[in-house]
Amino acid sequence: MVVRKEATPPNPTPSRKRSWLRPLALLVVLLGWEALAALGLLNPLYASSPSQIGRALVELFATGQIWPHLEATFGAALWGLGLGVLIGGSLGLLAALVPWVGEILEPFMLLLNAIPRIILAPLLVIWFGIGLASKVALSLLLVAVLIFFAVYTGIREVDPRLVERIRTLGGGRRVLLREVYLPSVTSWVLSQLKVAVGFAFTGAVVGEFVASSRGLGYLLNFAQQNFNASLSLALISLIVAFVLLLFAAFGALERRLLAWRSNR
């Protein structure tokens, strides 16, 4: 066969971003906030100040009292996230590939999705006690429903041309699952993972808020009862920092696993 040369599109290069703009904006807000607090224009009972929040954070780590609480919240959130992805993903896969399972599961999942699942927290405490299990259960519930729909929709919206392609190449169900459904679903799930991280922490912290003897939610409850805005904001910034770290980790995973996408 004759070899012909044809113009090849260049590999896409990442666009340059003004990466300094966001940190600068954050710094301006923090400095402004600090100045307002120093001038006595903010009531420390409600808003505290960045320096006081920083001091509260340093104290939490210096005394070491934060570690058991961090361990409890992270344990609950990560277990909830892991189990939620596993259970939600498996059910989504089953519902999409076995029509009668889909017919049974879809209305239940739609109902679970429609209600604010946080309201189940007190019930879960009654069922599983005030320990880790009730927090894991709440995180799991929040994450599983989200991932179920990501997988279920992902499989149902697979490009039918790709399915036919595999069939005409001689591939059966196993090849279809490995080569078409799973890669297609991965992009849907990865796009939902960042939301799932937020849900997992919401489940863990709200569960601790309702009833617990440790965890960041428990500490937040304690800070609220003592009108300690510095501690409240220190704990909130701690949760935000860890969630952002997980976001970055999932972002890196997404870039690696979805390198085939044209817009990346």
Partner 1 sequence: MLHIEHLSLGYGPTPVLHDLSLSLRPGEFASLVGPSGSGKSSLLRAITGLLQPQTGRLELGWKPEEVGFLFQDDALLPWRTARQNVALGLKIRGVEAKEAERQAEGWLERLGLSGLGARYPHQLSGGQRKRVALAQVLALHPRLLLMDEPFASLDAILRAQITEDLLEWVEREGISVLLVTHDLEEALALSDRVYILSGGPKARILREFAVPFERPRDPLVVRADPRFGPLLRELWQTLEVAVWS
Instruction: Decide if 109 contacts 94 (C-beta within 8 A).
Output: no
**Candidate list 171, 191, 195, 198; residue touching partner 1; CB under 8 A:** 171
Nearest distance in Å: CB 6, partner 1: 5
Decide if residue 1 touches partner 1 (CB under 8 A): yes
Q: List the interface residues with partner 1, window 140-159 (CB under 8 A).
A: 159
Instruction: Decide if 152 contacts 110 (C-beta within 8 A).
Output: no
Please tell me the distance from the alpha carbon of residue 223 to that of residue 7, in angstroms, as a whole number.
Answer: 65
Decide if residue 169 touches partner 1 (CB under 8 A): yes
**Candidate list 27, 36, 175, 244; residue touching partner 1; CB under 8 A:** 175
Q: List the interface residues with partner 1, window 11-50 (CB under 8 A).
A: 11-12
Instruction: Decide if 219 contacts 69 (C-beta within 8 A).
Output: yes
**Candidate list 15, 19, 63, 168; residue touching partner 1; CB under 8 A:** 168
Decide if residue 253 touches partner 1 (CB under 8 A): no
Question: What is the pattern of x (binds partner 1, CB under 8 A) and - over residues 183-222?
Answer: x---------------------------------------
Decide if residue 161 touches partner 1 (CB under 8 A): yes
- Region of residue 212 (left: phi > 0; alpha: psi -120 to 50; beta: else): beta
Please report which residue ranges of the chain form alpha helices under DSSP H: 21-38, 50-62, 66-97, 99-114, 121-128, 132-156, 160-168, 173-176, 182-210, 216-225, 229-257
Residues 6+ apart with CB under 8 A from 64: none
Stretch that binds partner 1, among 38-46, 95-103, 172-180, 236-244 (CB under 8 A): 172-180
Please tell me the distance from the alpha carbon of residue 74 to that of residue 215, in angstroms, as a whole number.
Answer: 8
Decide if residue 256 touches partner 1 (CB under 8 A): no
Decide if residue 8 touches partner 1 (CB under 8 A): yes
Nearest distance in Å: CB 187, partner 1: 8
**Candidate list 56, 180, 193, 196; residue touching partner 1; CB under 8 A:** 180
**Candidate list 7, 21, 41, 126; residue touching partner 1; CB under 8 A:** 7
What b/e readout covers 61-99, taking b as 16+ CB neighbours within 10 angstroms?
eeeeebeebbebbbebbbbbbebbbebbbebbbebbbee
Chain contacts with partner 1 (rule: CB under 8 A): 1-9, 11-12, 159, 161-162, 164-171, 175, 179-180, 183, 259-262
